[in-house]
Chains A and B, each alone.
Chain A
Amino acid sequence: MKRSALVTAAALLILALAPLALPFLQFVLTIAIAKGFAALGVALLLRAGLISLGHAMFYAIGAYAAAFMATTLGITDFALLIIGSTAISAFFGVLFGLFLVRYRAIFFAMLNLAVSMVIYALASKLYGITGGTDGLRVAVPTVFGMTLEKSSFDGLLYYTAIVLVALLGYLVHRYLKSPLGHALSAVHSNEVRLEYLGVSAWSTLLTAYGISAALAGVGGAIAALSIGHVLPEFAFWTESGHLVLTAVLGGIAGIAGPFLGSVFLEIVHTVAVGYAAEAWNMIVGIALLVVIFFLPRGLFGLFERLVGRKSTDGEPTL
C-alpha cells in the first residue's frame, strides 16, 4: 500500500514537471488526462463485465455542457464550469442508466451505442442550439474573478487536472474498496449469487454508471476548456471505441491504468503524426491486439511486473 502510494506520487510529480522540460507536452497531456478520466469511467463498467460502446456521449455531454454554460448562461468561472458539467453528465448518466443497466453483454453495448448515436446526430444536426457540425466555441474562462491569458489559463488548467486526477482517483479508489465497489466486480463473477446475498445488481450498476458518466463528464469539460472548441465528433461511436481501447490498453485493474493508457496513446499519437499520420489507426489497432493477446492486464500490469509487485488474485480482468 505504502509503496503504491509512493509510486503514484512519483508519477504525478513526473506529470507535473514534464511540461517544464517539453512545453508542447502540456496540451498533449491535458487531453490525455481528459480522456483518461473518460477511460476510467469505461474501466469501472468493464469491472462489472459491461462494455459500453457509447461512453463518448458523456464526454461530449460534459464538453457541450461547459460550452453551453459559458456561452448561453454566462457562467465564466472555470471551477463552476467543471463542477457544473460534471453534475450535468452525472445527471444524464443516471437518467440513461435507469434503463440501460437492465441489460447485459452485447445488448448493453448496443443500447449504449444507440443512445450515443442519437446524441451525436442531434449535436451535429440541431444547428441552432449546438452549432451543428461546426460545434461551439468556448471562450477562455475566468479564474475566481480574474481574467487570464490563454497561455497562463492553460497552465492553470493543466495543474488543476493533475490535482483532479489525484483527488478523484483517490475517491474512486475508496469507492472500489467499499462494499459497493466489491459488489461491482461481483456482478461480473456471479450476478445471481450477488442477488441471493440481498444486494441489488441494478442499483449497484446504476451507481457505477452514474459515477462513470460523471468521470467522463469531468474529462469532457477539461477537454472543452483546453481545446476551446467542442465538436459532435466527441460523441461518435469510434471515440467510444477508443475509450474502451484506452482503458484496456492501460489496464482496468487499478485507477492508474486508464490514465497510463491515455498518456501513452496521446504521446505515441503526437510522435506518430510526424512520421506515419496515415497509419496511426493501424498502429493503435495492432498495439491493442498485442495487449489483448500478450498483456491481459494492460500496460499497468506490465509496469507492476517490472517493479516486482505480484499481481493479486481476484483482480478484474476482461
Chain B
Amino acid sequence: MLQTLIPLAVDALANAALIFFVAVGLTLVFSVLRILNVAHGSFYSIGAYVAASVGLWIVGAGLPDWLTFPALFLSAAVVAAILGPLLEKTLVSWTYGKSEAVQVLVTFALFLILEDLQRIVFGVQSVYQDTPMAMLGISEIGGIVYLNYQLLLIGFAAALLIALRIFITRSRTGRLLAAVVADREVSEALGIDTKRMFMIAFTLGVFLAALGGALATPTTGVSPGLGADTMVLAFAVAAIGGLGQVEGAAIASVIVAAAKVLAIYFAPSLDAVAPYLVMLAVLLVKPYGLFGSGSTRKI
C-alpha cells in the first residue's frame, strides 16, 4: 500500500508546487491591485520558453551543465524585470478604478497579444530542456524511487511560502503592501507611494508565474497553449483558496494536485475534469473560497 501511496503523494506535491508558484502570483496581484489578471498564465509560459531557450543555449555553447540551475531563476527574474514594470505602467495602471468588465477585457487583450508574440518569437514546436532534472538523477529510499528534481520542487515551494510570509510580515516593503491591501486610501493619506506598491506587487506576480514556468520546463517542456491551460488551473486554485489568500493558495494547490493525481490513478478519463470539479464543489459551498470572504481582502 505504502509503496503506491508515497510515490503518488510525492507526485501530487511536486505538481502542487508548480501550480502554487502561478496561483500565489495571481492571488497576490489580485489582493494588492484588485485586478484579476487574465494574462497571468502567459507569464508562466513566457518564463518557461525563456528558461528552456537559455538552458538549450548553455548546453549548446558547451558551458558547464550546473549553470542551468541559476539560469532557471535568472530567466524568471529577467522576464519579470522587463515585462512587469512595462505592462503595469502602460496597460494595467490604466484600468485601476474601472469596472471588472474593463479590467478582464484589457488583460484578456493582453493575453491574446502575448500568446501570438510567443508563437512569433519561440515558434510553434514544443521546447524541451531537461538538463537540471537529468543532472539531479534519482534516489532510492526504502525501495521507492524518487526523482530528485521533484523533491527539490517541493522544497522550493515550501521555502517560497515561508519566504512570502516573512516578506509580508517582517520586511518594510511587505508591510507597506499589507497596508495598501488593508486600506488603500488611508495608506495613501499616510504617505505610502501606492503607485510604486502596485508596480512592485505586479512585478512580483510576474516573477512568481515566470519562475513556476521556468521550474516546470525540465519536467514537462513547453508548447503553445500552455499559457491558456495554466491560466484556468491558476484560477481554479486561487478561487478554491480564496482570492488574495497566500496560505489558501498553498492548500488549494495541494488539494487540486491531489485530485488530479488520484484521478489519473483511479479514473484516468477524469484527470482533466478533477481540478474543476473540486473548484465547483468548493465554490458551491463556499463561493468566496475556503479561506476568502466577499468583502475583506488579506495577504
Q: Which residues of A contact B (CB under 8 A)?
A: 46, 49, 51, 53, 99, 102-103, 105-107, 109-111, 113-115, 117-118, 121-122, 124-127, 236-238, 241, 244-245, 248, 278-282, 284-286, 288-289, 292-293, 318
Residues of B contacting A289 with CB < 8 Å? Answer: 91, 106, 109
CB distance from B121 to the nearest CB of A (A): 11
Q: Is the CB of A241 within 8 A of B99?
A: no
Choose one: B101, B232, B288; the contact of A51 (CB below 8 Å).
Answer: B101
CA distance A200 to B149 in the complex (A): 56
Interface residues on B, range: 35 or more
- In chain B, positions 161-202 with a C-beta closer than 8 Å to chain A are none
When A53-B104, A121-B273, A244-B104 are in contact, do A110 and B112 touch as well, CB less than 8 Å? no
CB distance from B114 to the nearest CB of A (A): 8
A-binding segment of B1-9, B210-218, B277-285:
B277-285
When A110-B239, A237-B228 are in contact, do A125 and B100 touch as well, CB less than 8 Å? no
Choose one: A110, A117, A245; the contact of B105 (CB below 8 Å).
Answer: A245
Residues of A contacting B243 with CB < 8 Å? Answer: 106
B225-251 to A contact mask, C-beta < 8 Å, 1/0: 000100110011001000100000000
CB distance from B113 to the nearest CB of A (A): 4
Q: Is the CB of B116 within 8 A of A280?
A: yes
Give the nearest-CB partner of A244 in chain B: B105
Specify the main secondary structure of chain A where it touches its partner: helix
Q: Is the CB of A245 within 8 A of B279?
A: no
Q: Is the CB of A285 within 8 A of B112?
A: yes
Report 25 cross-chain contacts, Cβ distance below 8 Å, ordered by A residue: A49-B99, A53-B104, A106-B100, A107-B287, A107-B288, A110-B235, A127-B269, A244-B105, A245-B108, A278-B119, A281-B112, A281-B116, A282-B112, A282-B113, A285-B108, A285-B109, A285-B110, A285-B112, A286-B109, A288-B112, A289-B91, A292-B109, A293-B94, A318-B99, A318-B102
CA distance A110 to B282 in the complex (A): 13
CA distance A82 to B74 in the complex (A): 55
Residues of A contacting B228 with CB < 8 Å? Answer: 236-238
Q: Is the CB of B273 within 8 A of A278?
A: no
Residues of B contacting A117 with CB < 8 Å? Answer: 232, 236, 276, 279
